[in-house]
């Protein structure tokens, strides 16, 4: 503990006699944020972690298969159990930043990935199949617009 530097500076952070307690003082905390986090955890627990995991896998398998049908190269494990709620694909000649900017600017759809053409498609449990189909339609529209 004597080598850990606290990233939150509040009363007592520099008093080693307080031991670990000095890292737990967060000053003026945002109670609504903490209550929201607790509500989100309660909601997830009410659904069940196993059901959430199964849904993540199902959605990731779906978007992965759809992107493969569109000629993408898989950059994700071939074993669905190892990819859970993420499908990563390589889609040259589509440039990820061009697609990412177009999706956000015109449709408020957010994606991430890596240069130049990798897409990291996350499928959290609150995402619907309709959301994925919307992305797929927009992806097709982008490719048509760019003549790719």
Q: What is the mean pLDDT of residues 117-143?
A: 96
pLDDT in tens, 75-95: 998 887 787 889 999 999 999
Q: Is the pLDDT of residue 22 over 80?
A: no
pLDDT the model gives residue 131: 97
Decide: pTM greater than 0.85: no
| Separation of alpha carbons 137 and 120, rounded Å | 17
Do 89 and 73 contact (CB within 8 A), yes or no?
Answer: yes
Place of tokens 């499908």: 87
Q: Delimit the domains of the chain by residue range.
A: 49-146
Find the mean pLDDT for residues 90-104.
97
**Check: CATH 3.90.320.10 for 49-146?**
no
């Amino acid at each position: 503990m004597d080598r850990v530097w606290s990233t939150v500076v509040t009363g007592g952070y520099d008093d080693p006699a307080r031991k670990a307690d000095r890292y737990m003082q967060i000053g003026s905390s945002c109670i609504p944020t903490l209550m929201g986090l607790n509500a989100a955890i309660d909601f997830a627990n009410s659904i069940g972690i196993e059901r959430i995991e199964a849904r993540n896998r199902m959605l990731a398998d779906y978007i992965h298969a759809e992107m493969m049908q569109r000629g993408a190269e898989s950059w994700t494990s071939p074993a669905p159990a190892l990819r859970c709620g993420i499908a990563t694909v390589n889609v040259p000649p589509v440039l990820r930043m061009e697609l990412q900017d177009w999706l956000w600017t015109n449709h408020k759809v957010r994606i991430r990935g890596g240069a130049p053409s990798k897409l990291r498609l996350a499928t959290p449990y609150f995402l619907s199949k309709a959301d994925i189909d919307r992305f797929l339609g927009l992806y097709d529209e982008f490719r048509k617009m760019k003549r790719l």
